[in-house]
Amino acid sequence: MGRFPFSVVLFAVLSSCLATSADRVYEVTTYGCSFDKSSSNYCEPVALEVGNLDAGAAPGSNFELIDWYITLPVDEDGDGKVDTVKESELASGYEHSEYFYTGTDGGMVFVSPISSVTTSGSSYARSELREMLRRGNTSYSTKGVGKNNWVFGNSSSQASAGGVNGILRATLAVNHVTTTGESYQKGRVIIGQIHANDDEPVRLYYRKLPGNAKGSIYIAHEVLDGNDKWFELIGSRSDSASNPSDGIALDEVFSYEIMVNGDQLRVVIMRDGKEYVEQIVDMSNSGYDDPDQYMYFKAGVYNQNKSGDDTDYVQATFYALENSHIGYDD
């Protein structure tokens, strides 16, 4: 579940109700708590604490990475594709000296320059983890509704999936963002996602413009085969945004939590000494209850600039990372 070496546990009582899909009746699964702050059963957000990180160890020694693989912004084997490192190798001490390594403070560092190899489905480069619930068991397919991926609690395919609903928590700092290129691409990076078959139920952005001292946080929710819906949590996503008074500076440590509970999505940003900021998105009409839709989390840096100088880059350091699902046994 990506929780080593941290000891935060979610105590959740499962609840369900009946729903129908075509001629079938199935249960809608939830964590048994509510996103309504006035409820006595409110789902309290959790900011991960930083454990004892060893600056001399590989990321796989400080973090449980057996249920992740990484996509890197390079093609060092010359096969014309981005390089990926699967779960077992990643958990056994893999590092890349430029794009994925342990920092001097023990954090897990992700770096992605603009001039890089990209995946076939994107023109933007990344150094990014992809959730793999199969935990190195290659008999499970990486794609499709199966034991490697999870589904929402309003899907009728719950019994076939590796988990139901999900929580992704991270504590991190964004260290560098791009300062060159087209105005609409400067300074933006995706630091967390839920990815479906082809669309993204949520993309979590950090953006700091060159003239500002602090950055903004916002999300995009993509309706299945539809358009993005945008929600600003801190500051503005505008290309000409002024410095956000309550923004997050480079190298400032903060936490995020992405939680799916049935057909509801919540993203929470947490900082020491400040009230947390949250955004709830109703996904009941977004199409992800389709029984063929499967999900996986992503975390790291997904550079959202392809127009700047070749050497310009994004970088973030993760100090804690946790993923969990109903029915997923680590």
Entry pTM? 0.93
Q: Check residue 19 and give its pLDDT.
A: 54
Residue 112, strand partner residues: 314
Residue 6 placed within a domain: no
pLDDT category at 166 given cuts 50, 70, 90 is very high
Is residue 232 included in any domain, yes or no?
Answer: yes
DSSP helix/strand/coil, 248: strand
Candidates 287, 265, 259, 224; CA nearest to 21 is 287
Q: 29 lies in which domain range?
A: 15-326
Kindly state the average pLDDT of the residues 244-260: 98
- Of residues 12 and 95, the one with the higher pLDDT is 95
Whether 11 shows a pLDDT value over 50: the answer reads no
Assess if residue 3 is contained within a domain: no
Alpha-helical (H) ranges within the chain are 59-62, 87-91
Mean pLDDT for the chain overall: 93
Q: How far apart are CA 87 and CA 129, in angstroms?
A: 10
Residue 289 sits at φ, ψ, to 5 deg, of -80, -5
Domain of residue 265, CATH code: 2.60.120.200
53, 131, 253, 284 from 214: Cα distances, Å:
27, 30, 13, 34
22 sits in the region (left: phi over 0; alpha: psi -120 to 50; else beta) called left
Contact 293, 155 (CB under 8 A): yes
In a domain, 235, yes or no: yes
pLDDT score for 115: 78
80 in any annotated domain: yes
How many domains in the chain? Answer: 1
Report whether 151 contacts 133 (CB < 8 A): no
- The residue length of the chain stands at 330
Whether residue 138 is contained in a domain is answered as yes
Euclidean distance between CA atoms 232 and 52, whole angstroms: 33
Query: Do the domain assignments include residue 218?
Result: yes
pLDDT in tens, 63-81: 999 999 999 999 999 998 9
312 pairs with which residues across the strands? none
Q: Distance between CA atoms of 3 and 10, rounded to whole angstroms?
A: 11
In a domain, 242, yes or no: yes
Phi, psi for residue 59 in degrees, rounded to 5: -55, -35
pLDDT of residue 84: 97
